[in-house]
Structure 1
Amino acid sequence: MGDTYAIAGLERKRAEIVREIAGAEDRLAYLRTSLVHIDATIALFDPEREPPGGDPILKRAQSGYFADGELPRIDMELMRDNQGRSAIELTEIIMVQRGIPTTDRTARYLIRKKVAGAVRKVRKRLAG
């Protein structure tokens, strides 16, 4: 009897998920229709051409902290000004400069990954 509130909450959550699934299915149907229209338009220009297959073009996830290409640019400037620092130290400097809490483990991980990649590229370029 005391579980009625829990059950009601779970039923509301279930209904919410069902609505999200329906919305996702609608979006998928729209995308499939768009794909058919694009293939038909390609066929108008070149009737003998087969629709391209292969891998989809993937969009990179954005962190939300930096604009496109901004982090590598900041990283390069810091590397020039702070030679010999590790990617972890550079990450800390960037986070402090941008006002990103250094206790945010997810942000630290994502930024450090990108900084480490930039450091590797620079070292490889200097070595070769």
Structure 2
Amino acid sequence: MNENGNKYALAALKDKRATLSGEIADMKKQIKWREDQLAHVDATIAIFEPGFDVDSLPLKRPRKRVKLFKQGELGRLIFDALRRSGEPMLTADVVTAVMEAQGYESEARSAFGPRVRGNLAYQLGRGTVEKTGIGRDTRWRLSDGE
């Protein structure tokens, strides 16, 4: 076996193992902390309702949030797209403009679409955008004050 050819691969593998070991140790600390917190909550429940079987409670799946935008960034991207357009835009066109501004391909549409629609609805409630039409024919534009 060529020892010189393997030294870089071996160094990379050792580094990867050290990284994974560190992550596992950190996760074990997080698990221990959560188990301690769970014990405190269980004890508090027992004070309010002695004899309650806490194991009978269903597990709640944690929500995983994918952070695609910094605080306020999506709204700014939407406003920029609407300003550049100069005319009301279809929701799909707003999504496309935001994706292009971020440098994403069409495969990301399923992640961007709901976020853009949600932000448009939020902006509509704030009065910063106006909506005409329904469904796929919905068009958006900046409010006169924007």
Equivalent residue, structure 1, for 2:38: 35
Instruction: Give 2:13's match in structure 1, choosing from 7, 10, 15.
Output: 10
Shift of 1:63: 2.6
Equivalent residue, structure 2, for 1:104: 104
TM-score by length of 1: 0.61
How many residues align structurally? 110
Equivalent residue, structure 1, for 2:88: 82
Q: Following the alignment from structure 2 to structure 1, what is the Cα–Cα distance between the partners of residues 24 and 49?
A: 37
Identity of aligned residues (%): 23
Q: Which of the pair is proportionally richer in strand?
A: 2
RMSD: 3.7
Structure 1 residues 49 and 9: alpha-carbon distance in aligned structure 2, compared to 1, 3 A threshold: same
The amino acid of 1:43's aligned partner reads A
Shift of 1:47: 1.1
Which 5+ residue runs of structure 1 have no aligned equivalent?
A: 124-128
Equivalent residue, structure 2, for 1:22: 25
Structure 1 residues 60 and 16: alpha-carbon distance in aligned structure 2, compared to 1, 3 A threshold: closer
Shift of 1:61: 0.8
Q: Following the alignment from structure 1 to structure 2, what is the Cα–Cα distance between the partners of residues 62 and 107?
A: 16
Equivalent residue, structure 1, for 2:115: 114
TM-score by length of 2: 0.55
